[in-house]
Chains A and B, each alone.
Chain A
Amino acid sequence: MRLLRRLRRYLRVALIFAGASVSAQLEYRANFLVNLFGSLLLAGGSLLGLTVLYGDGQPLGGWSYRETVVVVGLFTFVQGYIGAFLYPNLNRMSEEVRQGTMDFTLLKPVDSQFYLSTRNVNLFRLTDVAIGAGLVVWAARGLEGVSLPGTLLGGVLVIAALWIVYSVWFMLSTTAFWFVKVGNVTELFNGLFRAGQFPVTALPGWVRYVFTFIVPVAFVTTVPAEAITGRARPGSVLAATVVALLLGLISRRFWHFAVRNYTSASS
Chain B
Amino acid sequence: MRSALNKGRVLFTVWFAHMSAYRAEIIIWMLAGSVPLIMMAVWIAKAQASGGATGGFTPSDFAAYFLAAWLTQQIIVAWVAWELDHHIRQGHLSPKLLRPLDPFWEFFMGHASERFVRLPFMLVILFAGLILVPGTRLTPDAGHVLAYAACASLAFTIRFLIAYSIGLLAFWFDQATALDEFYYVAAAFLTGTFAPLEFYPPFIQAAVEWTPFPYLVYYPVRVLTGAADTPEILRVLGVQLAWLLVMTLVRALLWKQGLKRYGAVGA
Contact = CB atoms under 8 A, between A and B. Distances in A.
A191 B22 contact: no
B178 A34 contact: yes
A213 interface: no
B34 interface: yes
A191 B22 CA distance: 19
A55 B178 CA distance: 31
A interface majority secondary structure: helix
Contacts of B48: 204
Interface stretch (B139-147, B180-188, B217-225, B237-245): B180-188
Interface string B24-58: 11001101111100100110111011100011000
B34 A191 contact: yes
Interface string B120-144: 0000000000000000000000000
B237 to A, nearest CB: 27
Interface stretch (A15-23, A38-46, A151-159): A38-46
A207 B41 contact: yes
Interface stretch (B80-88, B164-172, B193-201): B193-201
Interface stretch (A102-110, A134-142, A182-190): A182-190
B28 to A, nearest CB: 5
Contacts of A35: 178
Most chain A beta-carbon contacts within 10 A, residue among B24, B28, B186:
B28
Nearest to B178: A34
Interface string A183-208: 11101101110110010001110010
Contacts of B181: 38
Contact of A190 (B32, B38, B41, B42): B32
B114 to A, nearest CB: 14
B116 interface: no
Interface of B: 22, 24-25, 28-29, 31-35, 38, 41-42, 44-46, 48-50, 54-55, 175, 178, 181-182, 185-186, 188-189, 194-195, 199-201, 204
30 contacts: A31-B175, A38-B185, A41-B182, A41-B185, A45-B185, A45-B188, A48-B204, A52-B195, A52-B199, A52-B200, A52-B201, A55-B55, A55-B199, A56-B54, A56-B55, A58-B50, A61-B45, A179-B24, A181-B24, A183-B25, A184-B28, A184-B29, A185-B28, A187-B28, A191-B31, A191-B32, A192-B34, A198-B38, A198-B42, A202-B46
Interface of A: 30-31, 34-35, 37-38, 41-42, 45, 48-49, 51-53, 55-56, 58, 60-61, 179, 181-185, 187-188, 190-192, 194-195, 198, 202-204, 207
